[in-house]
A = this chain, B = another copy of it.
Amino acid sequence: MANTIKEAAKGITKRADDYSQWYLDIIEVAELADNSPVRGCMVIKPYGYAIWEKFQAVLDEMFKETGVANAYFPLFIPLSFFNREAEHVEGFAKECAVVTHHRLELGTDGKLKPAGELDEPLIVRPTSETIIYDTYSKWINSYRDLPLLINQWCNVVRWEMRTRPFLRTMEFLWQEGHTAHASREEAEQRTRQMADIYQKFCEEYLALPIIAGFKTESEKFAGAEYTTCIEAIMQDKKALQAGTSHMLGQNFAKPFNVMFLDSDGERKYVWQTSWGVSTRLIGALIMAHSDDIGLVLPPRIAPIPVVIVPIWASDTEKDQTLAKAQEIRRQLEDGLKIKAQIDEREERPGEKFYHWEKKGVPLRLEIGPKDLLSDSAVAVRRDNGKKEKVKFSDLPEYVEKTLADIQQSLFDRAKQFRQTNTHSVDSYEEFKKVLETEGGFIWSHWCGSAACEARIKEETKATIRCLPFDQEQEEGRCLICGQRSRQRVVFAKAY
């Protein structure tokens, strides 16, 4: 490991020195994304996109198991649609890409200029509630058409001023689910069900421990009755909102006239939900597990869970180690459905080791001429760097067991980290001190007023991440005003 760490030190800023730069360095050395010539837009490189494809495959199956089907709605939204839901336009009109022309023409100065002005400008979707619910008003007639459970995988655009790859970009990829129900109860259940699915996905696949709960009024989605969210902690002790699921009530059903004839013969407005996760989750994944050597990926979402590195000094050795590598790959892929890649490149072994360490491949198997003599490979774990000699005959079982162990270890480590960085605080004085010196999640009492919330945010930059679900009631007093409170809420500085 020694020389690979040394090499690592060359390209990657240490977390302790500059966490933000470290994050960008990881994205670069792991070849996840690149800047683009369009301000605030990134290019997702093949390895980064392969991670997104893994996310998509898992989530898509989870959604479909609950009866959701995919569909596709237009990229553009007529300007007038935005005016219909007051909070919604307020939340999104400030930052959107507006299409005003449909042609280019050569100007008198010989340069291309926009031409063909549109009667009504079109907005590039920042989210699709309005255009989708306008369509739902045509599709839904009777209670037999409900529930309507649809998801869309697509790109959206929000004109963000300060961007950072994956975490906040002008254009990003996401999924947005949109459901319509006959009753409030059913919509509330769906809102919670999707938050639960996101939590399960983050915990079981991304190895990201989650606190799920309700957003406050000031932090909810513009247009929702209430918003639920999943919150994770990053290694710099800041919180990251990793997904949201909104109970929309009838806030969109009314302006978009989404009604159904109920079994009792009455026409009623539907109850709706929407929910989404985005490429931002890749940012969370990077920041939760990676280290000063490079990316660290949990096996269940790693595009390449196992890399096999044959080592040779002569052509004969190359033939022999490569043949063995191929045999092992076949065993893993055919027998266990575990994808393994062989690194056949003509590079020094150290170069190869580091290449895959930077890319966060969970398990590396090295096979050199000496290993062939002892009928064994050297297995190296990315999460803790541990090396082990493993007999070829034991390899399939070892790989399967070790990948599961790495997955669990990453989750346990992240959970331990969160526990170490979670504080329970009962005075504003202490709150400010802990936030300043320790950071992390702070559980405190809050009266429920927007004024107290705003003051804390203004004075400390900490926000209420959520009012956790299923939390024990506890009597207390608001940090700011001293009013009664029945539940602690989770504060943190956040991305």
User: Hey, which bits of chain A sit against chain B, CB under 8 A?
Assistant: 34, 36-38, 41-46, 48-50, 52-53, 69-79, 81-83, 89, 93-105, 111-112, 114, 116, 121-124, 131, 134-135, 138-139, 150, 154-155, 157, 159, 171, 173
Q: Knowing A46-B70, A70-B49, A74-B171 are in contact, say whether A102-B112 is a contact too (CB < 8 A).
A: no
Closest to A173 in B: B72
Copies of this chain per assembly: 2
Question: Which of B69, B81, B94, B99 is A98 in contact with, Cβ under 8 Å?
Answer: B99
Taking the closest CB of chain B, its distance from the CB of A263, in whole angstroms, is 13
Q: Is A79 in contact with B97, judged by CB distance below 8 angstroms? A: no
**Across the interface, do A93 and B97 meet the contact criterion of CB distance under 8 Å?**
no
- Contacting residue for A38 out of B41, B72, B74, CB 8 A: B74
CA distance A134 to B35 in the complex (A): 11
9 interchain residue pairs of minimum CB distance? A46-B69, A41-B74, A93-B104, A44-B72, A98-B101, A102-B159, A98-B114, A38-B74, A97-B99
Say yes or no: A100 contacts B98, CB within 8 Å. Answer: yes
What are the residues of chain B within 8 A of A157 when measuring CB–CB? 75
Contact of A103 among B93, B105, B139 (CB under 8 A): B93
**Shortest Cβ gap from A210 to chain B (Å):** 26
Q: Once the chains bind, are B89 and A112 in contact (CB under 8 Å)?
A: yes
Which of B75, B103, B114 makes the CB contact (< 8 A) with A41? B75
A98 touches B104 (CB 8 A): yes
A76 CA to B42 CA, complexed, in Å: 11
Q: How far is the CA of A75 from the CA of B74 in the complex (A)?
A: 14
How far does the Cβ of A62 sit from chain B's closest Cβ, in whole Å?
A: 16
Q: Quick one: given A98-B100, A155-B154, are A41 and B76 in contact (CB under 8 Å)?
A: yes
A36-B131, A79-B112, A124-B124 in contact; A72/B49 too (CB < 8 A)?
yes
CB <8 Å contact, B97 and A112: no
B93 contacts A102, C-beta separation under 8 Å: no
Which residues of B have CB within 8 Å of A171?
A: 74-76
Contacts A49-B71, A53-B70, A74-B41 given: A99-B102 contact, CB under 8 Å?
no
Bound together, the chains give a CA A391 to CA B420 distance in angstroms of 65
CB distance from A143 to the nearest CB of B (A): 14
Chain B residues lying within 8 Å of A95, measured Cβ to Cβ, are: 102-103
Measured CB to CB, the closest approach of chain B to A127, in angstroms, equals 15
Which residues from B are CB-within-8-Å of A70?
A: 46, 49-50, 53
